[in-house]
């Protein structure tokens, strides 16, 4: 579904407004599939710890509704909140799981084991346009 069609259904005008004041802009709500007119704390990405071969890693889980024509979702990692990386050497998509309700859960994890971390941050990125 294109953003313009979805926006018309929900009565929104811009990707950069937060009608329900839940901290998620309309463009993010579109990409995730949440309702821009009803605050839903559960729509926010969640940080989790994942285990791989006995090693723990910081990860981010993003639940989205598939079928969006715009608003590509990805993730980035940082150790200082200034410099962010989406390089596969730093961050990998480890799971894209279909859920019973038709949504998908994307899980990105750092490539650096938790035991080697000082600080690390993960964030979701939603990109519109070419």
Residues that bind Ca ion (CB under 5 A): 18, 20, 22, 24
Q: Which two tokens stand for residue 40?
A: 């839903």
19 vs 114, which CB is nearer to Ca ion? 19
CB of 29 to Ca ion, least distance (A): 5
39 vs 78, which CB is nearer to Ca ion? 39
CB of 127 to Ca ion, least distance (A): 18
Q: Which two tokens stand for residue 26?
A: 């309309």
CB of 24 to Ca ion, least distance (A): 4
Long-range own/partner contacts, residues 112-116 (CB < 8 A, 24 or more apart): 112/57, 113/55, 113/56, 113/57, 114/49, 114/55, 114/56, 114/57, 114/58, 115/55, 115/56
Q: What is the DSSP letter of 81?
A: S
22 vs 76, which CB is nearer to Ca ion? 22
Taking CB atoms, the residue at the shortest distance from Ca ion is: 24
């Amino acid at each position: 579904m294109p953003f313009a069609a979805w926006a018309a259904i929900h009565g929104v005008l811009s990707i950069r407004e937060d009608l329900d004041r839940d901290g998620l802009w309309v463009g993010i709500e579109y990409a995730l599939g949440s309702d821009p007119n009803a605050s839903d704390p559960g729509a926010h990405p969640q940080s989790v710890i994942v285990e791989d071969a006995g090693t723990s890693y910081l990860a981010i889980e993003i639940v989205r509704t598939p079928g969006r024509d715009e608003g590509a979702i990805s993730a980035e990692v940082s150790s200082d909140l200034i410099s962010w990386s989406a390089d596969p050497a730093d961050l990998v998509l480890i799971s894209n799981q279909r859920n019973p309700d038709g949504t998908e859960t994307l899980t990105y994890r750092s490539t650096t084991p938790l035991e080697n971390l000082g600080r690390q941050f993960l964030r979701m990125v939603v990109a519109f346009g070419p």
